Amino acid sequence: MKILIADDNTTNRKLVKALLTIRGHQVLEAPDGKQALAILSAADAPSLAILDWEMPEMEGIEVCRQVRQFQGAPFKYLLLLTVRDQKSDIVNGLEAGADDYITKPFDSKELLARVQIGVRMVDLNVALSDRVRQLEVALAQIKQLHGLLPICSYCKKIRDDKNYWQQVEKYFSDHSGATFTHGICPDCYERLVKNKKTV
């Protein structure tokens, strides 16, 4: 997964980057909050960010607030990393939009475990978004089948929205994904097939 590390302390950035790179993550770095926000605003932005609270240009907590104001952007998991360990600080960080909170000095195993939780959350959100899109497509197809259908009283073709006439089978296959098998109903058998056999 693509992960952003935003910290003005170069040593901290390199340490966290090494931990994540070993586990196969693609890591981007930002030395201040303003650059972090620019990276998270990009079209190919990372889905997960580890943000130091106290940074020049813009604090990590403000980056969280700004990211949560993005309209229609994909889900981002934000993890605050800071020396602040008071309950009020944790509450403020979470209320600003952070998904998790780790205090410095951090334990590398704990950090990796929390990052893994973030990865799972991002993956679940992507899967949920895909499912919602599939349901929206299915609902749109169902809506197309509602209402009055213009059908020829002789050949039984159906007129579509573009004023083309289609066989019933093709129309329903295009609008519902249904496939058809053909048979003969009892009435048609008696009227058309059976009579031909006896002639």
Considering just the CA atoms, what is the radius of gyration of the chain in Å? 29
pLDDT digits (tens, 9 = 90+) for 6-51: 999 999 999 999 999 999 999 999 999 999 999 999 988 999 999 9
Mean pLDDT of 76-99: 90
**What is the band of 177 on the pLDDT scale with cuts at 50, 70, 90?**
low
What is the predicted pLDDT for the residue at 146?
Answer: 57
Burial tier of 79 (Cβ tally within 10 Å: 0-12, 13-18, 19+): buried
In the structure encoding, which two tokens stand for residue 19, read together? 């931990």
Give CA–CA dist 113/177, Å, rounded.
Answer: 43
Mean pLDDT of 96-121: 91
Q: Is 122 helix (H, G, I), strand (E, B) or coil?
A: helix
Judge whether residue 55 has pLDDT over 90: yes
What is the predicted pLDDT for the residue at 168?
Answer: 67
DSSP string of 46-87, one letter each residue = -SEEEEESS-SSS-HHHHHHHHHT-SSPPP-EEEEEES---H
What is the predicted pLDDT for the residue at 62?
Answer: 95
Q: Domains of the chain, with CATH numbers?
A: 2-136 (3.40.50.2300), 146-198 (no CATH)
Helix (H), strand (E) at residue 8: none
* Crossing angle of the two packed helices 60-68 and 33-41, in degrees rounded to 10: 20
Judge whether residue 178 has pLDDT over 90: no
In the structure encoding, which two tokens stand for residue 11, read together? 């040593």
Task: Count CB-CB contacts under 10 A for residue 130.
Answer: 10
pLDDT digits (tens, 9 = 90+) for 146-159: 555 677 777 777 77
Q: Name which residue leads in pLDDT, 154 or 95.
A: 95
What is the predicted pLDDT for the residue at 76?
Answer: 92
Q: Is 59 helix (H, G, I), strand (E, B) or coil?
A: coil
High-pLDDT (> 70) share of the chain, %: 86
